[in-house]
Amino acid sequence: MYSTIKKASLGLFFAGAIAFAQVGTTAPTATVSVTVAAEAALVINSNVTLTSVGTNFADYTGNNTFTYFIRTGAASGTGSIVAKVTSDFSPAGGPSVASPVTASDTLKYTATVAAPGTAAAQQTISTASTTSVASFGSDAHSVKAGNSGSTAWVLSNDPLYQTGSYTATVTYTISAS
């Protein structure tokens, strides 16, 4: 009987030693998922002042730059940059996109964009509808810092304009799917 009790006592100590070896760490896992969708953004880097240089009544010209960020769908995605005059020149008496003093007066632009964008041909901008600046195909990606683009503007210089400073607002919209 002495022998039996002695073994029981030793058994308690072994149990403690086994527990020390087995516990202490566990390692659950986590599954992390993310859906990367098509998206796009655009930053206008500066406003532009149109100036007439050279001969009298030479058209007003100017250039502004923008940076675009885009990711289009891998399979059948597409993207675009469009522009529209959302606020016509003011005050009255000067140039106007919606109601030019002479029918042939226009505000036009020629776009330049870095790949993967494709610049549109020269456009006459409107207050009524958007016009194309650039387009993108499927699986198009800008770099993380963005890709560059610019629009070179030409505004008719009509002697009928009253002297003064006139301001209009052009809104660029970039989209991706």
Partner 1 sequence: MHPPRTIAALCLLLTGTSLSAATASASQTLQVNISPAASFSTSSYSFTLTKSGSLFISSGRFTGYTANLTLLYQARTGAASTTAGITVKATSDFAPAGGPAIASGPVLTYTCAGPTLGTGCTGVQTVSTVSATRVVTLPAMACTGGGSPCSNGDPNSATMSFFLPDDPKYRTGFYTTNLQFTISGI
Pick the piece of the chain touching partner 1 (CB under 8 A) from 46-54, 68-76, 106-114, 148-156. Answer: 68-76
Q: Does 70 bind partner 1 (CB under 8 A)?
A: yes
Number of residues that bind partner 1 (CB under 8 A): 47
| 107-113 and 147-155 beta bridge pairing | antiparallel
DSSP-based three-state secondary structure for 103: coil
Regarding 16 and contact with partner 1 (CB under 8 A), the answer is: yes
105-113, 119-127, 137-145, 149-157 -> range binding partner 1 (CB under 8 A): 137-145
* Token pair for 5: 């009790």
Is the distance from CB of 19 to CB of 12 less than 8 angstroms? no
Three-class SS state of 2: helix
Least distance in angstroms from the C-beta of 67 to partner 1: 8
Contact call for residue 26 and partner 1 (CB under 8 A) = yes
CA distance 110 to 59: 14
Q: Which of 47, 64, 73, 80 binds partner 1 (CB under 8 A)?
A: 73
Q: Any contact of residue 30 with partner 1 (CB under 8 A)?
A: yes
Query: Residue 94's CB: how many other CB atoms inside 10 A?
Result: 19
- Among the listed residues 88, 62, 93, the one whose alpha carbon sits nearest the alpha carbon of residue 159: 93
Binding site for partner 1 (CB under 8 A): 1-2, 5-6, 8-10, 12-13, 15-17, 19-20, 23-39, 41-43, 69-74, 77, 139, 141-144, 146
